């Protein structure tokens, strides 16, 4: 089932409406690679609907966030800009961000489970969530002096 279908089902179930704007924003989320900002989503959606407003984009993203369809992310390089992860909040994974081309690579690693458990045991704490970001140079930028992309 596609993202739009899932969201439609959800919104209808709670007496909400599936509007053209919401459909366009969902399409943008599916098609834009990486972790786009609200502005990037706005720019994309604007191609189809020149009248859409940036605040609608924000509002829709917040609403998708509440339902767990997108997850907010911040990276240190541009820490003020919120980015939106279409992977949603249930699928947890970690990120690598290239300092040169700003590319983001998603990955997972079973060692984090060990780190988590070690911490919980030592501090008698309960870890609910893990944010791990590696910063550095991707394979391409390591050799080739590359032009920056994105933010």
Partner DNA sequence: CAGCTTATTGCGAATTATTTGCAAATGGCA
Partner DNA sequence: TGCCATTTGCAAATAATTCGCAATAAGCTG
Interface positions with Zn ion (CB under 5 A): 98, 100-101, 103, 138, 141
Q: Please choose, out of 8-16, 93-101, 104-112, 132-140, the segment that lies near DNA by the rule CB under 7 A.
A: 8-16
74 exposure class (CB count in 10 Å sphere: 0-12, 13-18, 19+): middle
CA distance 84 to 109: 22
Candidates 1, 17, 122, 143: give the one binding DNA (CB under 7 A).
17
Q: d(Cα 26, Cα 61) in Å, to the nearest integer?
A: 9
80 contact, one of Mn ion, a second copy, Zn ion, none, CB 5-8 Å limit per kind: a second copy
DSSP codes joined into one string, 35-46: --BHHHHHHHHH
Under rule CB under 7 A, residue 47 binds DNA: no
Q: Which helix (H) or strand (E) holds 71?
A: strand 71-73
Site for DNA in 68-127 (CB under 7 A): 80-82
Rounded Cα distance between 60 and 53, Å, is: 11
Contacts with DNA by CB under 7 A: the residue count is: 27
The contact set with a second copy (CB under 8 A) reads 72, 74, 76, 79-80, 82, 96, 98-99, 105, 107, 109, 111-112, 114-116, 118-119, 122-139, 142
């Amino acid at each position: 089932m596609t993202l739009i279908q899932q969201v439609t089902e959800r919104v209808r179930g709670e007496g909400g409406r599936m509007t053209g704007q919401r459909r366009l924003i969902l399409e943008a989320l599916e098609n834009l690679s990486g972790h786009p900002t609200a502005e990037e989503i706005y720019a994309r959606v604007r191609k189809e609907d020149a009248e859409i407003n940036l605040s609608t984009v924000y509002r829709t993203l917040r609403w998708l966030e509440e339902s767990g369809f997108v997850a907010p992310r911040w990276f240190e390089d541009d820490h003020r800009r919120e980015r939106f992860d279409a992977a949603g909040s249930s699928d947890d994974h970690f990120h690598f961000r290239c300092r040169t081309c700003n590319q983001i690579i998603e990955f997972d690693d079973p060692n984090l489970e060990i780190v988590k458990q070690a911490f919980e045991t030592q501090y008698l704490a309960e870890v609910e969530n893990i944010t791990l970001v590696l910063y550095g140079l991707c394979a391409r930028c390591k050799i080739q002096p590359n032009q920056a992309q994105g933010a």
